Structure 1
Amino acid sequence: MFHKEGFKIMTLTAIILIAINIISYSLIETYWIKFAILVATVLFFLLIVQFFRNPQRVTDHNDEHIVSPVDGKVVVIEEVYEKEYFKDKRIQISIFMSPINVHVTRHPVGGKVTFSKYHPGKFLVAWHPKSSEENERTTVVVKNPRIGEILYRQIAGALAKRIVNYAETGTEVVQGSDSGFIKFGSRVDVFVPLGTKIRVDLNEKVKGGMSVIADVKTE
């Protein structure tokens, strides 16, 4: 299953690659060169297609849990000052997506969207210290009745040139449902209240909509 954001790109890519092969077969006489072009175009198309895969995920809905919004690896767990919305200290959990990860963004909690904003910006590499403040990004806050407000931020990277965000202020969203897409990559930061129990470790791999990254349980 593929994400709807990829249909146009995949179709256009297929048309261009088919045209390349038609031209090569009509103009090039050497068989191995034509075959090499065919193999290269097929591999390139498969590379594009894998960016837009959208596997079905079953989320165990729980108002005490914060699930990972994306597939990837946990690269940051630290206390920071969140200055855009909360303007206080929060625990930041950052998840980095490699080119081979699924790039669908999912709601980490269910509830009401209280804030949603797009920020144009640069395309620094995702691990750059200033990427969360200077790169193209979107900030979304969802208010959950049990946990409170959870902020997550989609951040573009050096390859990611477009962020898609479906979250609209005032709407009710379901935990694990489709929140957006980062075309070709990058990273998502999640900001949770101090005192929240963190359920992941640095360098741990997580799955969007399934892996519990934090919760408010006290036991």
Structure 2
Amino acid sequence: MKLHREGYTIMTATAIVLIFINLGLNYLLPEGHWGVGLTLVASIVLFILVVQFFRVPKRLAYQSEKQVVAPCDGKVVVIEEVVETEYFKGPRRQISIFMSPLNVHINWNPISGVIQYFKYHPGLYLVAWHPKSSTENERTTVVIRNHVGVDILFRQIAGAAARRIRWYVKEGDQVEQSTEMGFIKFGSRVDIFVPLDAAIKVNLQDKTVGSVTVLAELK
């Protein structure tokens, strides 16, 4: 299994702490004490959970000029018409995907094109499903313009536990659909804003596969 570079420091630090805890208990507790075995088992389970946060799946890159693909793994929790106030300042269709701690945490570009706008917003750490998390939590806003001039906006949003957002794009970059653009550590949420005339291809509660699942088809 391939592991993401964003997890190297956390995985190493976790392993060191767990090793010291187990060595310390082995020294302090009598030989054969039940607490030693229980701590070892708990440490192994915890380390496996941390490692799985940073797994990198093998995926075939999806390429379509008319379709918008999911920028992350997760579950569709919002499909609604909203007024997007930061960039478009007008109505758009919002699709929100909740990433649980068990999902792959990589984020992918939903379309090919040029990064027209990028901004990082410091903020709060409300739970990811809170209605105000999209506008008040720590987040990034990314806008990609495709070859015919259609802009797609998406946001990486931190949650109560996910306080580490990473991004690998900047304004002016040419990006390809289904390529990696960032990472959110320990799960959170991604919002995507598409034109009102786009045909939505997912339903509420659908599970998405990042870089593969088609969210919408553009006119």
Q: TM-score range by the shorter chain?
A: over 0.9
Tell me, in whole angstroms, the C-alpha distance in 2 between the residues paired with 1:198 and 1:113: 23
Please list every run of at least 4 consecutive aligned residues from structure 1 whose deviation after the TM superposition is greater than 4 angstroms.
none
1:210 matched to 2:195? The reply is no
Further displaced range: 15-24 or 67-76: 15-24
Instruction: Tell me the residue number matched to 1:173.
Output: 175
Tell me, in whole angstroms, the C-alpha distance in 1 between the residues paired with 2:85 and 2:66: 25
Describe the superposition over 1:101-147 as per-residue Cα deviations: whole angstroms up to 9, x where unpaired.
11111000011111111000000011111110100000000111146
Further displaced range: 112-121 or 138-147: 138-147
Q: Which runs of structure 2 are paired with 1:83-98 in the superposition (5 Å)?
A: 83-98=85-100
Tell me, in whole angstroms, the C-alpha distance in 2 between the residues paired with 1:190 and 1:149: 11
Give yes or no for contact 1:113–1:143 (8 Å, CA) kept in 2. yes
1:123 matched to 2:133? The reply is no
Give yes or no for contact 1:147–1:216 (8 Å, CA) kept in 2. no
Selected match of 2:64 from 62, 65, 81: 62
Further displaced range: 183-192 or 145-154: 145-154
Shift of 1:191: 0.2
| DSSP-derived class of the 1:116 partner | strand
1:74 matched to 2:76? The reply is yes
Instruction: Tell me the residue number matched to 1:135.
Output: 137
Shift of 1:160: 0.6
Selected match of 2:195 from 193, 196, 200: 193
1:10 matched to 2:11? The reply is yes
Selected match of 1:107 from 106, 109, 116: 109
| TM-score, normalised with respect to structure 2 | 0.96
Tell me, in whole angstroms, the C-alpha distance in 2 between the residues paired with 1:198 and 1:61: 18
Q: What is the aligned-residue RMSD (CA, Å)? A: 1.0
Tell me, in whole angstroms, the C-alpha distance in 2 between the residues paired with 1:3 and 1:185: 14
| Count of matched residue positions in the alignment of Structure 1 and Structure 2 | 217
For structure 2, the residue ranges without an aligned partner over 5 or more in a row are: none
1:24 matched to 2:18? The reply is no
Shift of 1:77: 0.4
